[in-house]
């Protein structure tokens, strides 16, 4: 499933040069983005980056200042929220406290004037879908947080929207329930064949659930890619730093050519990194490498003149599944290297203050041109 790799595939949702201003503040800035039918798409970014505003414009609660939003082939300008084939589930769930679960789910259907029999059928389908059949006559305050979340989900799916918009859908749940619910949402999205657009500031949540992620900053999309691409090949310093743990080195290009760049980094060693576009010698660049791609050893690696540096073990953090080593390089910079405990000897002889070498492969990190 990767319609975005097919240039002839038509997007189901298209934002075309969309800008949203509140007074003289630009919340969404000339943003273009395609989302495909049956995609589980995540908008990820820090608070205030404009992700909720983007979702609200898609739902029709806000109008773009300029630009176009096309949904299933139709320009949505002038279409009110209730006439759009989308439904939105809010973080607060917005359940009616005085109504039973059943009535909460039926609310929108009733407003639409659905016949009673059909409504009863639809509500019981929805209750079954979210596994709440035995809770039909309870009120929201007689439910757990996870159950309330499922009622909200059932209610937003009851009208059978083509697109479900979820604004921080799991924000109110504790960690364990959140993880379980992530998988439930994925199953539901798959089995119903819907397009889901979720807003989150939680990168793990986006990585777990989404087919693709748009990383946003200051009203713009910085990178759109699959979770693996975002993690393995961040296109910028911002994305490298925002997603996961990373070591970033600054430096200058010493030589380039043959699909690789040699960087003299500020920490006093040479980095050779594979790169498709090679900036000229002297350019200021960065180099990003994930902790798990960095090796720590007591002996110097075979070729210590490149992609290797000497330091001392500054900190060792045992995290159960893995151990994180903080190594203080001779320049004073502290870098992180991690390894899975299952892949190492139990009686690891590493101790604090020990002299060690860090080293890594040529294709283990990425060149940052910004
Ligand atoms: P959060 O995760 O905190 O909800 P977000 O990325 O979803 O953040 P938005 O809610 O889209 O961010 O808001 C983007 C920016 O636009 C914020 O700086 C916010 O203060 C501003 N903003 C949003 N709605 C309005 C409004 N109605 N009037 C003025 N400014 C607004």
Q: Whose CA is nearest to atom 3 of ligand 1?
A: 47
Going from the Cα of 44 to the center of ligand 1, the distance in angstroms, rounded, reads 14
| Fold type of domain 3-240 | Rossmann fold (3.40.50)
> Which residue has tokens 């009208």?
159
Going from the Cα of 50 to the center of ligand 1, the distance in angstroms, rounded, reads 6
User: Average pLDDT over the chain, rounded to whole?
Assistant: 92
Which pLDDT score is estimated for 60? Answer: 96
Please determine, for residue 347, whether its predicted confidence score (pLDDT) is greater than 80. Answer: no
82-136, pLDDT tens digit by residue? Answer: 899 999 987 666 889 999 999 999 998 998 899 999 999 999 989 988 889 999 9
How far apart, in Å, do the first and last CA atoms of the chain sit? 32
Which pLDDT score is estimated for 368? Answer: 95
Mutate to test the pocket of ligand 1, among 29, 42, 49, 53 (most ligand atoms within 8 A of CB): 53
Please determine, for residue 200, whether its predicted confidence score (pLDDT) is greater than 70. Answer: yes
Please determine, for residue 152, whether its predicted confidence score (pLDDT) is greater than 60. Answer: yes
Identify the DSSP state of 81.
Answer: G
* Minimum mean pLDDT range among 78-92, 275-289, 300-314: 78-92
Which pLDDT score is estimated for 9? Answer: 93
Strand-pair partners of 292: none
CA distance 246 to 336: 8
Distance of CA 184 to the CA centre of its chain: 18
Going from the Cα of 38 to the center of ligand 1, the distance in angstroms, rounded, reads 27
Q: How confident is the model at residue 184 (pLDDT cuts 50, 70, 90)?
A: confident
- Helices 175-192, 145-158: axis angle to 10 degrees equals 20
* Minimum mean pLDDT range among 204-213, 235-244, 290-299, 338-347: 338-347
18-29, pLDDT tens digit by residue? Answer: 999 999 999 999
Which pLDDT score is estimated for 348? Answer: 62
Please determine, for residue 346, whether its predicted confidence score (pLDDT) is greater than 70. Answer: no
**Closest ligand 1 atom, CA of 45?**
6
Q: Mean pLDDT throughout 157-161?
A: 89
Which pLDDT score is estimated for 91? Answer: 65
Which pLDDT score is estimated for 334? Answer: 97
CA distance 13 to 195: 9
Please determine, for residue 3, whether its predicted confidence score (pLDDT) is greater than 70. Answer: yes
Which pLDDT score is estimated for 234? Answer: 95
> Which residue has tokens 């973080």?
91
A 10 A CB-CB count for 194 gives: 19
**Closest ligand 1 atom, CA of 23?**
29
206-245, pLDDT tens digit by residue? Answer: 999 999 999 999 999 999 999 999 999 999 999 999 999 9
Nearest to 32 by CA among 221, 294, 278: 221
Going from the Cα of 238 to the center of ligand 1, the distance in angstroms, rounded, reads 20
Which pLDDT score is estimated for 268? Answer: 93
Which pLDDT score is estimated for 179? Answer: 86
Going from the Cα of 362 to the center of ligand 1, the distance in angstroms, rounded, reads 41
H-type helices in 193-341, by residue range? 203-209, 227-232, 237-242
Q: Regarding the domain with residue range 245-368, which homologous superfamily does it belong to in the CATH classification?
A: Nucleic acid-binding proteins (2.40.50.140)
**Closest ligand 1 atom, CA of 219?**
14
Going from the Cα of 53 to the center of ligand 1, the distance in angstroms, rounded, reads 6
> Which residue has tokens 């949904």?
71
The residue that leads in pLDDT, 290 or 257, is 290
Q: How confident is the model at residue 345 (pLDDT cuts 50, 70, 90)?
A: low
CA distance 268 to 252: 11
Nearest to 332 by CA among 357, 314, 350, 354: 314
A 10 A CB-CB count for 3 gives: 18
Interface confidence, given as ipTM, is 0.93
Q: Mean pLDDT throughout 38-56?
A: 95
Residue 163 host element (H or E): strand 163-167
Which pLDDT score is estimated for 280? Answer: 92
Residue range(s) in the chain whose domain bears CATH number 3.40.50.300: 3-240
Q: Output the CA–CA distances (angstroms, integers) from residue 51 to 46, 128, 165, 208, 232, in the order listed.
A: 9, 32, 12, 19, 23
Q: How confident is the model at residue 57 (pLDDT cuts 50, 70, 90)?
A: very high
Residue range(s) in the chain whose domain bears CATH number 2.40.50.140: 245-368
H-type helices in the chain, by residue range? 51-59, 101-111, 116-129, 145-158, 175-192, 203-209, 227-232, 237-242
Percent of the chain with pLDDT over 90: 75
- Phi and psi at 46, nearest 5°, equal -70, 165
CA distance 70 to 366: 35
For ligand 1, which residues put their CB under 6 angstroms from it? 22, 25, 27, 45, 47-53, 201
Q: Mean pLDDT throughout 248-276?
A: 94
- In this prediction the pTM is 0.90
Q: Whose CA is nearest to atom 20 of ligand 1?
A: 48
């Amino acid at each position: 499933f990767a319609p975005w790799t097919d240039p002839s595939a038509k997007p189901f949702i298209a934002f075309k040069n969309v800008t949203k201003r509140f007074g003289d503040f630009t919340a969404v800035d000339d943003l273009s983005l395609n989302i495909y039918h049956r995609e589980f798409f995540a908008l990820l970014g820090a608070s205030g980056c404009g992700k909720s505003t983007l979702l609200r414009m898609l739902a029709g609660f806000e109008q773009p200042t300029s630009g176009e939003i096309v949904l299933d082939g139709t320009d949505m300008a002038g279409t009110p929220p209730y006439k759009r084939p989308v439904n939105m589930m809010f973080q607060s769930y917005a359940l009616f406290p005085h109504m039973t679960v059943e009535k909460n789910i039926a609310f929108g259907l009733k407003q639409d004037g659905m016949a009673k029999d059909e409504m009863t059928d639809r509500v019981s389908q929805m209750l079954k879908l979210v596994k709440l059949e035995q809770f039909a006559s309870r009120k929201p305050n007689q439910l757990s947080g996870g159950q309330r979340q499922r009622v909200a989900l059932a209610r937003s799916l009851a009208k059978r929207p083509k697109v479900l918009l979820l604004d921080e859908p799991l924000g109110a749940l504790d960690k364990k329930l959140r993880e379980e619910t992530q998988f439930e949402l994925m199953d539901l999205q798959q089995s119903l064949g819907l397009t889901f657009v979720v807003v989150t500031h939680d990168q793990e949540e986006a990585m777990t659930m989404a087919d693709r992620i748009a990383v946003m900053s200051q009203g713009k999309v910085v990178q759109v890619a699959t979770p693996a691409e975002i993690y393995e090949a961040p296109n910028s310093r911002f994305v490298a730093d925002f997603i996961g743990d990373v070591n970033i080195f600054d430096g200058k290009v010493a030589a380039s050519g043959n699909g690789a760049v040699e960087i003299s980094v500020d920490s006093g060693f040479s980095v050779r990194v594979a790169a498709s576009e090679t900036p000229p010698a002297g350019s200021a660049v960065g180099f990003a490498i994930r902790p798990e791609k960095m090796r720590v050893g007591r002996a110097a690696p075979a070729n210590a003149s490149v992609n290797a540096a000497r330091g001392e073990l500054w900190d060792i953090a045992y995290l159960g599944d893995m151990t994180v080593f903080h190594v203080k390089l001779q320049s004073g910079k502290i870098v992180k290297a991690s390894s899975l405990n299952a892949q190492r000897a139990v009686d690891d002889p590493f101790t604090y203050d020990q002299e060690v070498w860090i080293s890594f492969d040529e294709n283990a990190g990425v060149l940052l041109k910004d």
